[in-house]
Amino acid sequence: MILILYQTFLLKELSISMFIFFITHFILTFLSKKHHKKLPPGPNGYPFLGALPLMGAMPHLTLFKMSQKYGPIMYLKMGSNNMVVASSPSSAKAFLKTLDQNFSNRPLNAGATHLAYDSQDMVFADYGSRWKLLRKLSNLHMLGGKALEDWSKIREDEMGHMIHTMYDSSKKNESIVLPEMLTYAMANMIGQIILSRRVFETKGCESNEFKDMVVELMTTAGYFNIGDFIPILAWLDLQGIERGMKSLHKKFDALLTKMIEEHVASSHKNPRVKPDFLDTLIAQSKQDSDGGEKLTITNIKAVLLNLFTAGTDTSSSIIEWALAEMLKNPNIMKRAHEEMDRVIGKQRRLQDSDIQNLPYLQAICKETFRKHPSTPLNLPRVSSEACEVNGYYIPKNTRLSVNIWAIGRDPNVWENPLEFNPDRFLSGENAKIDPRGNDFELIPFGAGRRICAGTRMGIVLVQYILGTLVHSFDWKLPNGVVALDMDESFGLALQKKVPLAVVVTPRLSPSAYIP
């Protein structure tokens, strides 16, 4: 009886919500037609839901196909929200450079609320003094050029551990699940910078659980959640997304709380000679408010969450895709080996200083950024004011999504875009293209003031780790695996649907594998 009453109540509430939505939608549609504003072209969508049902499991691919029909700037009604999608270098430049300031904030969504401590982090925070402080501290102590030089020894030591482990596996002819190995190494690199210690002493259940949590977060946060686009239905959580986010947040919060508490306790027992990044954040939280912006413990947890998740998963996925493409194209692997043997030799491991002398490795990295960008759809932005782009009217509070994946596959920009061909970046105008956000043909990290804070770090990690792995080993698929699965799994980061498992064979002097 209680269940029947509850179901009746839900149906009544849903009916009222839908009635309110239709009335609001009718009024807004009438007003927009009355003012004769020319919106960009796009699909009509469905009543109440708009284009949401059209997105499917692979929104980046769906939006790419739509752009081929409607053009590089599209307008979609997504529930009660306006959304505009840019799918070409010129349209991306118009939004992310010319109109950068107008699109400097993020729209509210469940991921920001339930995963990112209610937008208290760097990724989702409003553009303002708090966000600027978090970016400044992160660049100064971890993500900027000088900071990256300062922790080069940490990268070198951790890669020593990683290739030594892989070397031992090769002697036993054991296959390696590459993304698990990469996450373990990268989490330990980041842990040493932030906490002055490795997060995982040994690879195993704990590190694999962390990897699963990171993938779940990046996948869940990328979902097109009905409640984000039809707020009056958010409380129903029709897809169960918010329940999953809340559960995952509890796990991460417990892990981050433990990290901070152990760090504070250890600093009292053994004061550090040089403060690490967490020391810097904690010091900022104790600063008097009249002396500058003051951080809260929630801000600190949120920033750590950004760095440990995006810092491991995005770079890991790029390296995994690069090696998968090289396994599919053995000639590319052969050319990379030849270049490295000529520049580095076989008596030692690759060093950071070698990368500038390895143009083919750099071209492989750029080609992977193009074909497999870690973030297929940039994190959404929202217009603060109404504006005009290419003669089209963009209303206030319109969500902006730049289809980075589509730009990399655009046949008007790239010759044979589906082919993995590093040579395209070795000569001509393409050789000058850089992935740091100024060349809109290649913006894997976004562009403008909300460009990914870890752009420099991402490029350094991908080049150094990929280069070290390729130089150190010959690669093949495990026995019995005939074809390499290259299917994608959509999320904030574009994962390989089937994690890459490989068997490696050492190709350097044995002394190069000693950590």
Average pLDDT, the chain: 91
Confidence at residue 2, expressed as pLDDT on a 0 to 100 scale: 46
- Predicted confidence band of residue 5 (pLDDT cuts 50, 70, 90): very low
Amino acid identity at 321: W
As a whole number of angstroms, the distance between CA 293 and CA 79 comes to 37
Is residue 94 scored above 80 in pLDDT? Answer: yes
Is residue 26 scored above 60 in pLDDT? Answer: no
Collapsing DSSP to helix, strand or coil, 387 comes out as: strand
As a whole number of angstroms, the distance between CA 262 and CA 245 comes to 26
Mean pLDDT of 29-37: 54
φ, ψ of residue 393 in degrees (nearest 5): -85, 130
Amino acid identity at 108: L
Mean pLDDT of 180-197: 93
The CA-based diameter of the chain, rounded to the nearest angstrom, is 79
81 has which bridge partners?
A: 78
77 has which bridge partners?
A: 82
Pairing of strands 73-78, 81-86: antiparallel
Binding-site positions for heme: 452
- pLDDT tens column, 462-515: 999 999 999 999 999 998 888 899 999 998 889 999 999 999 999 999 999 998
Q: Are 404 and 377 in contact (CB under 8 A)?
A: yes
Amino acid identity at 107: P
pTM of the predicted model over 0.95: no
Confidence at residue 121, expressed as pLDDT on a 0 to 100 scale: 94
Q: Are 282 and 264 in contact (CB under 8 A)?
A: yes
Q: Are 95 and 103 in contact (CB under 8 A)?
A: yes
Q: Which region among 256-265, 330-339, 413-422 has the lowest average model confidence (pLDDT)?
A: 256-265
More confident residue, 92 or 493: 92
Q: Map tokens 């980061």 to a residue.
A: 493
CB atoms within 10 A of CB 215: 22
Confidence at residue 37, expressed as pLDDT on a 0 to 100 scale: 83
- pLDDT tens column, 307-358: 999 889 999 999 999 999 999 999 999 999 999 999 999 999 999 999 999 9
Binding-site positions: 452
The dihedral formed by the CA atoms of 87, 93, 96 and 102, expressed in degrees to the nearest 10: -110
Q: Which residues contact 375 (CB under 8 A, 6 or more apart)?
A: 314, 404, 444, 445, 446, 452, 492, 493, 494
In CATH terms, 37-513 corresponds, of 1.10.287.3510, 1.10.3720.10, 1.10.630.10, 1.10.1760.20, to: 1.10.630.10
Confidence at residue 287, expressed as pLDDT on a 0 to 100 scale: 74
As a whole number of angstroms, the distance between CA 191 and CA 319 comes to 20
Please report, in angstroms and rounded to a whole number, the separation of the first and last CA atoms in the chain. 67
Q: Are 77 and 45 in contact (CB under 8 A)?
A: yes
Question: What is the enclosing helix (H) or strand (E) of 389?
Answer: strand 387-389
Residue ranges of the domains in the chain? Answer: 37-513
- Predicted confidence band of residue 13 (pLDDT cuts 50, 70, 90): low
- pLDDT tens column, 312-323: 999 999 999 999
- Predicted confidence band of residue 106 (pLDDT cuts 50, 70, 90): very high
